[in-house]
Chain A
Amino acid sequence: KQEVTQIPAALSVPEGENLVLNCSFTDSAIYNLQWFRQDPGKGLTSLLLIQSSQREQTSGRLNASLDKSSGRSTLYIAASQPGDSATYLCAVSQTGNQFYFGTGTSLTVIP
């Protein structure tokens, strides 16, 4: 069964810093990988989707990379802002029929 791990569990940075969130998965036979954002008490918002054939995706200040062979993905956030404070989750899909989630990284950006 696919296991997804996110490190660190929590991260606190001053505003303006660039930061990296890590995600690792045990089975490299994935179809795609997504990064989600979750605000407290709310649902999940998809930030970036990387297909298995891709190496990275970018959206604004966010850049996600995928190294399928090593079972790793990173989410890079440039010039962090207090509004980026949230929990970030990565999820992998193997057959398209379900997403396997990590337990998330709780990010706090201090003004």
Chain B
Amino acid sequence: DVKVTQSSRYLVKRTGEKVFLECVQDMDHENMFWYRQDPGLGLRLIYFSYDVKMKEKGDIPEGYSVSREKKERFSLILESASTNQTSMYLCASSFGPSRGYFGPGTRLTVT
């Protein structure tokens, strides 16, 4: 079974802090994704990566950056956390255009 893990289930940070969210998948998938999920807005794509060191912006990349130095690991970075980045963050991976596998999510609160 594919496993996608995220470094934290719950995270509380202060405004202005630099925040790292880590995601690891164990099935050698090429594609990895970061989404945020907010009530009434659904899931929105922040960034995705289709190979090591390759990345593309999604629909809402502002205020975020990503890093993919190894195939199995995809990191989401909030350069200077703000309260409007309080959300549920979901990482996913897939092999090409196939079934997507999601991690358990990180609920981030920025105070």
Interface of B, secondary structure class, is: strand
**Bound complex: CA of A91 vs CA of B35, how far in Å?**
13
CB-defined contacts of B33 to chain A, threshold 8 Å: 98-99
Q: Are A43 and B103 in contact (CB under 8 A)?
A: yes
**Bound complex: CA of A45 vs CA of B102, how far in Å?**
7
- Residue numbers of A with Cβ under 8 A of B are 31-32, 34, 36, 41-46, 49, 89, 91, 93, 95-99, 101-104
Q: Are A34 and B43 in contact (CB under 8 A)?
A: no
Closest to B56 in A: A97
CB-defined contacts of A96 to chain B, threshold 8 Å: 31, 94, 96-98
Q: How far is the CB of B41 from chain A (nearest CB, A)?
A: 7
**Bound complex: CA of A101 vs CA of B38, how far in Å?**
12
